[in-house]
Amino acid sequence: MKRRSQANAVAQQALIAHWQSIVKSLNYYLKIMKANHVPPFVVCKVFTQIFSFINVQLFNSLLLRRECCSFSNGEFVKTGLAELENWCHEATEEYAGSAWDELRHIRQAVGFLVIHQKPKKTLKEITNDLCPVSNFTLQFLPLNPKPHLSLSH
């Protein structure tokens, strides 16, 4: 049993390392922009665009790749989103601005993936409570002949 927990800890560290490398890059570019006296509103726009790109890439992966729609992948992305949220707080609103808000769609999709008792949730609970921002997208998922976001674990 101890061996399994050690293996899980190593795997968790490897997953976090990926997200930490992204945070390291964000810090690097923030440092460069500050050193070159880039106006904070421009820095905000840059990071807002970066976070928007991250949101689109991750959300499209969920919609287009079945293997990304798992509880474990949801946990992985949730961990990464926590790292990005922490970066936004450390960078301060002056530089991060509303970058965190750009991740709203992927945050809701991940919330859906990692929620327990999915089969017991009604469509109304999902669309109104769990995924209000993504409601438009979720309405069209039934049109997809092979929907990837399933209600099963």
Q: Where are the domains of the chain?
A: 2-143
Q: Is pLDDT of 148 > 60?
A: no
Residue pair 63/123 in contact by the 8 Å Cβ criterion: no
Question: What whole-number distance in Å separates Cα of residue 67 and Cα of residue 144?
Answer: 16
What's residue 43's pLDDT?
97
Percent of the chain at pLDDT > 90 equals 46
Question: What whole-number distance in Å separates Cα of residue 103 and Cα of residue 13?
Answer: 23
Read off the DSSP letter of residue 98: T
**Close Cβ partners of 10 (under 8 Å, ≥ 6 residues apart):** none
What's residue 143's pLDDT?
38
- Tens digit of each residue's pLDDT (9 = 90 or more) over 30-67: 999 999 999 999 999 999 999 999 999 999 988 888 88
